[in-house]
């Protein structure tokens, strides 16, 4: 395995953050949003973006007041890191029996260091998975990534039945609590009545016990609407 320098790790994290914040539309990302996401001062963000834009093969397109977008090369690199991350999470969860709430932090560290050969072996061992344990699409080697239309649970206004698309991997504690309720990708989730300020009245599966989920937690869950039975 080649160990990449600390500097390229931080470049990777910038590219990943721009990819995530830009969303499927690949919209321009503001310095402010990046600064919050990376917990780095705006001046340092600007500094780094200028460097990435001035590279021989620019990784971003950056305009002082227009924000930033990934270049073709930057997007390719960002998707490669995301592929590493999600394959590692899947491997840790399925093969090494890591608890679901621990795989993200471990993958954050390892994603920068694995070789292409290691990546290939993990993918083959797992049968070339397309979805990670949180429900997120794993980009293909060619950089294709499946996009499914999904909505945030927090944006649901009325009672209804849904399939859980994905759960954010960022907050381990919340993940553990949600897992205990059965909130996992693929599960059937019922919103029992319109949400209140306190949160969401939910149940999982056809006969799951009702429980309450906070608005905060609802920000972490994405759903696909099911046709009304
Ligand atoms: Zn993760």
Centre of ligand 1 to C-alpha 92, Å, is 11
pLDDT at 229: 55
Find, among 6, 27, 13, 34, the residue nearest to 77 by Cα. Answer: 13
Angle between the 6-22 and 72-94 helix axes, to the nearest 10 degrees?
Answer: 100
Residue-level pLDDT, tens digit, the chain, 229 residues: 444 445 778 999 999 999 999 988 889 999 999 999 999 999 999 999 999 999 999 999 998 888 999 999 999 999 999 999 999 999 999 999 999 999 999 999 999 989 999 999 999 999 999 999 999 999 999 988 888 889 999 999 999 999 999 999 988 899 999 999 999 999 999 999 999 988 999 999 988 899 999 999 999 999 999 876 5
Measured distance CA(87)–CA(134) in Å, rounded: 11
Centre of ligand 1 to C-alpha 228, Å, is 32
Centre of ligand 1 to C-alpha 64, Å, is 31
Centre of ligand 1 to C-alpha 78, Å, is 14
Measured distance CA(87)–CA(132) in Å, rounded: 7
**Domain layout of the chain by residue ranges:** 1-147, 151-225
Measured distance CA(125)–CA(87) in Å, rounded: 11
Centre of ligand 1 to C-alpha 208, Å, is 28
Centre of ligand 1 to C-alpha 63, Å, is 30
What's the CATH code, domain 1-147?
A: 1.10.10.10
**Do 151-225 and 1-147 have the same topology in CATH?**
no
Specify the CATH superfamily of domain 151-225.
Answer: Ferrous iron transport protein A (FeoA) (2.30.30.90)
């Amino acid at each position: 395995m080649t160990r990449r320098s600390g500097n390229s790790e931080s470049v990777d994290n910038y590219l990943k953050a721009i990819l995530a914040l830009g969303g499927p539309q690949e919209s321009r990302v503001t310095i402010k949003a990046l600064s919050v996401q990376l917990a780095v001062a705006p001046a340092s963000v600007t500094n780094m973006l200028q460097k990435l834009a001035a590279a021989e093969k620019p990784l971003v397109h950056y305009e002082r007041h227009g924000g930033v977008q990934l270049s073709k090369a930057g997007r390719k690199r960002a998707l490669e890191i995301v592929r590493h991350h999600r394959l590692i999470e899947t491997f840790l969860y399925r093969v090494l029996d890591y608890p679901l709430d621990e795989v993200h932090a471990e993958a954050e560290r390892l994603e920068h260091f694995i070789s292409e050969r290691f990546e290939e072996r993990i993918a083959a061992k797992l049968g070339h998975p397309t979805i990670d344990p949180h429900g997120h699409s794993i980009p293909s080697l060619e950089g294709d990534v499946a996009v499914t239309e999904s909505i945030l649970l927090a944006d649901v206004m009325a009672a209804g039945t849904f399939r859980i698309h994905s759960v954010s991997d960022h907050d381990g504690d919340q993940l553990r609590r949600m897992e205990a309720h059965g909130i996992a990708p693929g599960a059937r989730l019922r919103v029992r009545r319109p949400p209140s300020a306190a949160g969401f009245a939910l149940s999982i599966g056809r006969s799951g016990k009702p429980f309450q989920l906070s608005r905060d937690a609802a920000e972490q869950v994405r759903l696909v609407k099911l046709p009304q039975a």
